[in-house]
Copies of this chain bind each other. A is one copy, B any other.
């Protein structure tokens, strides 16, 4: 099969930052599905892994990355019970295995959902990774519920990004939270409002912006940009007994001790925890994706898909990564094969 990958970590503008190559179609067994990929979307995890996996080294075999995917089940392992050949599926995959920037991919059925039938391939491909991340944060890490938490306030740092866009929707539509999102350009502000944000504030003077909008403290904070960069603002704005979640990781130690007098809770959300550790509950991702699929079909949620590039080629993925690295992407960028 044809695949796109890299043997060494290079700036995206380099000739060899992505290469095209042939590799055997992988062998199927157990609970795996073999999926023929129709479209993928790109996420910050893709660029991070391309930039860091093969620094100052050259891999023997090219590494295939990319995890969000939409495709058709081509064959099933002998223990598969949730899907059959011909099913249209979407998923964000498993970071410890080969990615979706290829003609075919293996994926465990427990982390796969049914593609929303009424949505296009592109609109569907935009959703799995970001929807799983936002869902797991709100429901599994923060354990929020509409009964207990309706009307409480959530500040989303990075409202117009992929995760921010779907987090705004889930928080509004499923939990009834009051959502304050950060954005600074006219087009990102408009996008956050389209996603359902009640208030949009500029991240550059975050504490004052939030307070001028009428919120002294916020109950919950979702950082999707840079937990270190916003730490002092977050410590200031979080309500006593509040909950902060970050998905970004941290380059330098976070001074978590600053949260003690307020009895604040801090969570990490990493969408690949369940598949990496093969947790007992990894089938939750199957359930979450099917819930998201149904909510997209009935129109409660809308796809965050914004732009499409075409063709399974090194050139397409160079363009896609360059665009993502510019840091100005709104919603999601999809590559259709």
Residues of A within 8 A of B (CB): 136, 140-141, 143, 240-241, 249-250, 253-257, 259-270, 272-274, 276-277, 279, 281
Contacts and interface: CB of A to CB of B under 8 A. Distances in A.
Contacts of A277: 240, 262
A250 B256 contact: yes
A240 B141 contact: no
A268 B260 contact: yes
A189 to B, nearest CB: 30
Nearest to A270: B263
Contact of A136 (B140, B255, B263, B270): B263
B257 A276 contact: no
List the 9 closest pairs (A to B, CB-CB), nearest first: A263-B273, A253-B253, A265-B267, A240-B277, A260-B268, A250-B257, A143-B143, A263-B270, A240-B273
B273 A268 contact: no
Contacts of A254: 253, 256-257
Given A140-B241, A273-B240, A268 B279 contact: no
A41 B267 CA distance: 34
Contact of A266 (B253, B266, B269): B266
B267 A262 contact: no
Contacts of A256: 250, 253-254, 256, 266, 268
A143 B140 CA distance: 11
Nearest to A228: B257
Given A143-B143, A261-B276, A265-B268, 18 more contacts: A136-B263, A140-B241, A141-B265, A240-B273, A249-B257, A253-B255, A253-B256, A253-B257, A254-B257, A256-B268, A260-B268, A260-B270, A261-B273, A263-B268, A263-B270, A264-B267, A265-B266, A266-B266
A270 B269 CA distance: 24
A241 B143 contact: no
A53 to B, nearest CB: 15
Contacts of A276: 240, 261
Contacts of A253: 253-257
A246 to B, nearest CB: 8
A269 B262 CA distance: 8
Contacts of A240: 273-274, 276-277, 279
A141 B274 contact: no
Nearest to A264: B268
14 contacts: A240-B277, A241-B274, A241-B281, A249-B260, A250-B257, A253-B253, A253-B257, A254-B257, A261-B272, A261-B276, A263-B273, A265-B266, A265-B267, A266-B266
Nearest to A136: B263
Contacts of A140: 241
Nearest to A143: B143
